[in-house]
Structure 1
Amino acid sequence: MKTLFNMFLILVISIQVQAQERKIVGTVTDESGLPLPGASIMIKGTNKGTQTDFDGLYEIKAKDTDVLVFSFVGYVTEERKVGKLYTILVTLKADVSKLEEVVVVGYGIKNRRSLTNSVTTVTASQLKRQKRKAYHNQLAYQIQSVPVQGGLTGVQMVNSNTNLNKTPLYIVDGIPIKKEHNHIIENLPINDIDSEVKYDNAEAKKKFGKIAKGGCIVITTHQGNYRIENSESYAAIIENAFERTLLAPLSTFSIDVDKSSYSNIRRMINNGMTINPDAVKIEEMINYFNYNYPQPTGEHPFSITTEVVKTPWHNKTKLVRIGLQGKTFLNEELPASSLTFLIDVSGSMADQNKLPLLKQAFKLLVNQLREKDKVSIVVYAGAAGVVLEPTSGKYKEKIVEALDHLQSGGSTAGGAAIELAYKLAEKNFNKNGNNRVILATDGDFNVGTSSDNAMKRLIEEKRKSGVFLSVLGFGYGNYKDSKLEILADKGNGNHAYIDNMQEAQKVFGKEFGGTLFTIAKDVKIQIEFNPNKVQAYRLIGYENRLLNDEDFIDDTKDAGELGSGHTVTALYEVIPVGVKSDYLKDVSDLKYTKSQIDSNFSNELFTVKFRYKKPSEDKSIEMFHIQKDEITLSHSDLNFASAVALFGMQLRQSKYCNDTTIDDVIALANMGRGEDKDGYRAEFIRLVQSYQNL
C-alpha cells in the first residue's frame, strides 16, 4: 500500500511539474542568418503569444505540452513542440510562391496612394538569390542615388496600377496597422523605407484573410522596428511608502486638479488594452469625481474638510480624507476672458478621435462665450501660424468657421507654436480679465523644442507673463502624457484627456469655470502628524506632486492651481501607535537625536496647513486646520473615493492592496454611489466590471 501511495505521489508531482510554465527563449532568423524583428510566436490553440525584438530575440512562458507557432509575413510558418527544451532557435524559409513584387519607391515621393511611373521591382527569384542584408544595402543605395526613371540593372519598370482598394491593409515590420492609422504610414518618410511588397485584393485576402480584402502593402523599414501603437509615454511613478512619524512628521505636496488619468484609463479599458501602471495616477482618478464639500463662506476662496474612518481594505489602519472645495462662480460672474486656442494640426492628428473630435469639443466652449470674451487661434504642424486674430464671442459663427477649416498634415513644431501663442496672448493681454492659452494636441512634438526638460524651461519662462495654460490631450497610439503633464503643471494650468464627446461636455460644459478660471494658484498642503497617535503614514497618489518640506514656505516654488468650483481630495493611510504592521521594518535607535513628544496635544491626530496665492499676486496666504483623533462612520462620498483609490492601487499592482479583489472595489463603489445625478459613478462601476471581464 505504501509503495502504491508513493507511486501515486510521484505521478501527481510529475504531472504538476509538467503542467508548470517556464520561460522559453530563442531567436527567429531567415535563411541567411539575419534576425527577423516582429516575427510572431504563438502558443498553438490559444491567443497567448509574443514577438521578436529588433535582434530577432524572444521570450515566452510555456508548458512542456505546448506547441509554439512561428510566423512572419512572406515566410513559411513553422511549429515547434516545447518538450524539455528551454531554448528554441528557428529559421524561417521565404514563402517565394506568395511574393508578388518588391516595390522600390523613388526618393521624394510623399504619398503612397499614387505610385504611377515611380515604381521599379525586384522579382521574387532575385530576392531569393541574394542575401537579405546585401539586398537591403543595395536597395538603400538605389533609393538615395539613382534616378527612378532611369533603368536599374536587373530590374524592370512595371505599371503601378495594381488592383488595390483606397484603404489597403498596411503591414510594417511584421505588424498590421489599424486602418485609422493608414495616413501615418502613407506619410512615412521615404528614407525610412527599405522595401515594399504589394498584394492585390484577391491575393491579399487569400493570404491575410478578410482584413486585407482591399489589398495589402507590406513595408520593411531600415530600422526594422517601426511601431505606432506602443509609443505612448508616461512619467515613471514610484509608489509612496509608509513614513515613520518620529523620523518624518511632515508630509508636503502640491494639489492636483488634473483628471486626465481617469479618462485615459477609461479609454484603455474600453478598448481592451493593457494598462501601463505609470498611466495610473490615483489622485487624478479620485479627483475626476466631485464630492459634496461645503462652499467656502469666509475670506478664503475654498473650504477645508477633514475626516478619519477605518480603512476599507485594512482593519488595522485608518483612512484620512482631506478635501478642498473651490468657490463656484456662475459663468456670467466670471471676468472677461482672452483665450488663445493653440491647436495641433500635424499629420498625427488626423485620426477621428483627434482633430475631428477636437473641433467638435472646442465648439462646445465657443457656444458659451460672451461678447466680452475674445478668442484667437494659432495652429501648428511643420510650422506655426495664426488663423484667427482676436475675435469677440459675439461672432461665434466666425470662430466656428475657422475651426471647421482646420486640416491635418505635416510634422509637429510644438516649441515654436507655444512661443507664437504666448506672443499673441501677451499682445492681447486683458489686465482685469482671464488670460489663457488652451493647447490641444496628442503631445507628439518632434520639431524644435520637444524634450520634456526643454518644454519645462520654456513654459516656466512663459508663465511669468501672467498667461495661464490649459492642456487638452486627444487620441492614442502616440499620446505623450508626460509632456502634457509638464506643460500644464509648469504653465499654471490644468490637464484633461478628452476621449469622446461626453468628456468634452464635462470639461467645456459642466466644468467650464474650473477649466478656464483660476481662483487660487500655487496651492500647497503640509500635514504634521502627531507621533502620540500616528506611528506611520502614507500619501495615496500625488507621487509626481511631492514637495520638500522647506518648499512649503518658499513662495518661489511652483504648485497647483484651483479653479472655480473645483474639488480636491487627498487620502492618507495611517498606522496608529501600538499597531504591529508588516509594512514597517525595524530601525536602529538614534544616538545623537532623541525625540521629545509633546503631550499637550494628545487628542490631535494631525494639523494641516495650506498656502495659496491669489491669481494676480506673488505672496502666499496661509491657513490651517486641526483634526482630532475621532473616527466617524464612512459615508457615500468617502466610500466612493476609497473604491476609486483601491482600483487605482490594483491597477498599479500596489503592495498595499492587502489581497483585495475587483469584487471589493465594486462593493465599495456601490456603497458610495449616492445620488449620482450625472451618472459618472455608475459609469465607474460599469468600467470596473468591464475590466474584471477582460
Structure 2
Amino acid sequence: MKTLFKFILVLMISMQLQAQEKLISGKVSDESGIPLLGVTIVIKGTSKGTSTDFDGFYEIKAKEFDVLVFSYLGYVTEERKVKKLNTISLSLEIQKEALDEVVVVGYGIKRESKTLSYAVSTVRGVSVSKALSGKSAGVSIRGVATKKKHEKYSDPQSGQLTAGEINDLEKWNEWLAVLKNKKYKKIQNNWGFYLENKIEVLIIDDNSKPVSNVKVSLFNDLNEQIMSARTDVSGKVILFKDLNKICKDEYFVVQAICNNRILGKKITNNHQNVNFVLDYVNSSNDIDVMFTIDATGSMGDEINYLKSEIKNIISRLDNKIDKKRVALTFYRDEGDEYLVRDFDFNDDIEVVKEILSNQSAGGGGDYEEAVEEALKVALSKEWNKSAKSRLMFLLLDAPPHLNEENVSVIKEQIKIAQEKGIKIIPIVASGADKTVEFLMRFFSLSTNGTYVFLTDDSGIGNPHLKPTASDYKIEKLNDLIVRLIEKYSGIVG
C-alpha cells in the first residue's frame, strides 16, 4: 500500500511539474545557417505564439507536454515537442515550389513581447529569395496565404477588436483622485499638463438650443490668454485654468465671440460654470474625421485589424451627415522609410479605404515614436471651419520622445487643436505603458475628447495595458468609435 501511495504521489508531482510553464528559447535559421526573421512559433492547438527577431532568436513560455509549431513562408513547417528541453533551435528546409508573389496575412497571434513584434504587410514586386531572407525591411509573416497575381488581399473580418473608453470629463472626481498618485504626478510634471481646475461654458440661443462652433477664451487676472477653444454640438466647451501651469490666479475672464459680438464675464477661481445666450444658429451639418496612425513595426500585431475596423467605421458614417470628409495620416520615426505620410480630407469614402489598404507597419526600433511630427502635419490640414464636429482619432502604442523641444511642440499642437475645435480621441494599442496612457488622457482632456484603449478580450495582438480606472465597459472597437462619432456629431440613434 505504501509503495502504491508513493507511486501515485510521484505521478501527481510529475504531472504538476509538466503543467507548469517554462521559458523556451532558441534560434531558427535556414539550411545554410542564415538566421530567419519573422518565423512564427505557435503552441499547437492554441493562438499563443511569437516570432523570431532579426537574429533569428525567439522566446516563448510553454509546458512540457506542449508542441511548438515553426512556420515560415516558403519553408517546410516543423514541429518540436517541448518535453524537458529549455532550448529548441532548428533550421528550416525551403519548399521546392516557387512563388511569383508573397502575400503576408495577420491572423491575430498573441505575442508575449513587444520587442518581437514586426510589420504585417503585403509584399509585392519583391523577389522570393529577398523576401524570405528577411531583407525586406519590417516584414513579419504571421500565418500565411498565397494568392494568384492581381487577386486582391482579403482584410480580416471587422468587429473583432475590443476596446474600452474612459471619459475623464464625465468622471471628473475619479480623475482628480487618480492624479494624487506620485507616479502619475511625475508624468504630469514631465509633460507640463495639469488639468485639475476646469470651468464649463455653455452657450445657447434665444430658444435655449445649444450653439456650436463659438470661440470661447479664458484670460487670467493679468489679461493673459490661458486657453481658447470652441463649443461643440452640445453648446459646451471645457476650459482649464491650469492648462500648462498650476493655477494661482484669483480672477478670470471668460470671453465668447460670435458674429463680431464679444461677451465677457468676470469670475473667481471658485467658479465652475458660465452660461451665455446668443442670437446665433449654426446650420452646418458637416463633420471632419481624421485617423492619425502609428505605422511603426511595433503596431504590426494589430494594424491589419485596425485597418479593417477603420474601413468599417467610415462606411457606417450616418447618412444624416450632409457632408463627411475623412483624412489619413501615418507616421513612424526619424531614420525610417518615412517620417509622416499624409492624405488630405476626402469625401469619397472608397478612395480613403483604398489608401488605407495600401499602408503597412514597419521601422521604429526604439520605444518612442514621432508623435509630435504627426500632430504637426495632421493639425495643419484645411479642417472645415464651419463643420459642427472635427474629430481626430490618434492610434498609437508609444509616446513621443521626451525632451524639452518635444514638450514645447506637443503643447503648441494641443493649442492649435483647441483653437480649431478639434477633439483628439486617442486609441491606445498593445504594448503601451502608463506614460502613454496618461499623456493620451491629457491630450483628450485638453481638447474635450475622450480616451479609448484596446483590450485583451479579443485575443488579438500583444498584451494590452489595463487603464487606471475603477470601471469601464468593453465594446467592439468599431461600434465604440461609431458611437463616439455620432455622439460628437449630435446624431440621435
Larger Rg: 1
TM-score, length-normalised on structure 1?
Answer: 0.34
Higher helix share: 1
Calculate the TM-score normalised by the size of structure 2.
0.45
